[in-house]
Amino acid sequence: MGKLNLDLLTVGDHRFHQLHESEELCDHAYAHSYNYKQRTKELHDRRLRGNKHFKCGDTTLLFKSWLKLFPEKLKSRWYGPYTVKEVFPYREVEIKDKDGSLKVNGHRLKDYISEKAEEREGVILRLTAFDA
């Protein structure tokens, strides 16, 4: 048969230490979970296609996936050009054209390169068609 400790001060101290140990374990688990989520988010963000950072005044194209009037394989779904009106947190972008403005997710946008020669980072890019 087990012994019963009737000293209430000793039992109270022992229970007090047990509660503090369980709180420390809980805090450690919370910190470990937070670190795991941060590493997972960084890995996910690294695997995203391209870092799309838009500024007000940039010219972009919009991917319209919902438009399926003419389901052709080779038809482009990039429409535009649109001008960036405002950039919100979490990659939400407000774009405008001659008809009005629209809020979209930044993942559905890409930079618009005009047909004219354009200078980017000191290099002149010329968009020409190759003769076959």
Q: Encode pLDDT of 17-64 as tens digits.
A: 999 999 999 999 999 999 999 999 888 877 766 667 888 998 999 998
Asked if residue 67 and residue 39 are part of one domain, the reply reads no
- C-alpha dist (Å) from residue 31 to 28, 36, 45, 71: 5, 9, 21, 50
Q: Which CATH number belongs to the domain containing residue 70 in this structure?
A: 2.30.30.140
Asked if residue 42 and residue 64 are part of one domain, the reply reads no
Residue 66 within any structural domain of the chain: yes
Asked if residue 43 and residue 63 are part of one domain, the reply reads no
Asked if residue 41 and residue 15 are part of one domain, the reply reads yes
Residue 75 within any structural domain of the chain: yes
Q: Is the pTM above the cut of 0.85?
A: no
Alpha helices in the chain (DSSP H): 8-47
Percent of the chain exceeding pLDDT 70 equals 77
Domain count, the chain: 2
What is the mean predicted confidence (pLDDT) over 4-16? 84
Asked if residue 41 and residue 70 are part of one domain, the reply reads no
| Domain containing residue 79 | 59-125
Residue 1 within any structural domain of the chain: no
For residue 90, the model assigns a pLDDT of: 81
Confidence at 87, pLDDT banded by 50, 70, 90: very high
For residue 132, the model assigns a pLDDT of: 44
Asked if residue 90 and residue 114 are part of one domain, the reply reads yes
Asked if residue 81 and residue 38 are part of one domain, the reply reads no
Per-chain mean pLDDT for the chain: 80
Q: Rounded CA gap, 26 and 40, in Å?
A: 21
64 three-class SS: coil
Residue 107 within any structural domain of the chain: yes
Residue 101 near residue 94, CB atoms below 8 Å: yes
